[in-house]
Amino acid sequence: MSISKELLDILACPRCKGDLKYDEKLEVLICQRCGVFYEIIEDIPILTPDSAKPLSELEKAHPQKTQS
């Protein structure tokens, strides 16, 4: 399931309050400004500051999805 455009319009990074980019393939929300991503678990974005993971760990978190 994907996140609706309406929800994406109101979601913000809990750290910097910046925009989040939804990566539908990896099912994560990415904050380019902070260089982190937030996982979406069972269609629920986990948007607590402590749940942020560095973009460098994105492939480790989703190895089967990052390979084409």
DSSP letters, 7-60, are: HHHH---TTT----EEETTTTEEEETTTTEEEEEETTEE---GGG-EEGGGHHH
Contacts 24+ apart (CB under 8 A), 14-23: 14/47, 14/48, 14/49, 14/52, 15/49, 15/52
Is it the case that residue 61 has pLDDT exceeding 90?
A: no
The reported pTM is 0.84
In tens, the pLDDT along 41-60 reads: 988 999 999 999 999 999 87
Q: Which domains does the chain have, with CATH numbers?
A: 5-66 (2.20.25.10)
Q: Which residue has the tokens 């978190």?
A: 61
pLDDT band at 31 (very low <50, low <70, confident <90, very high): very high
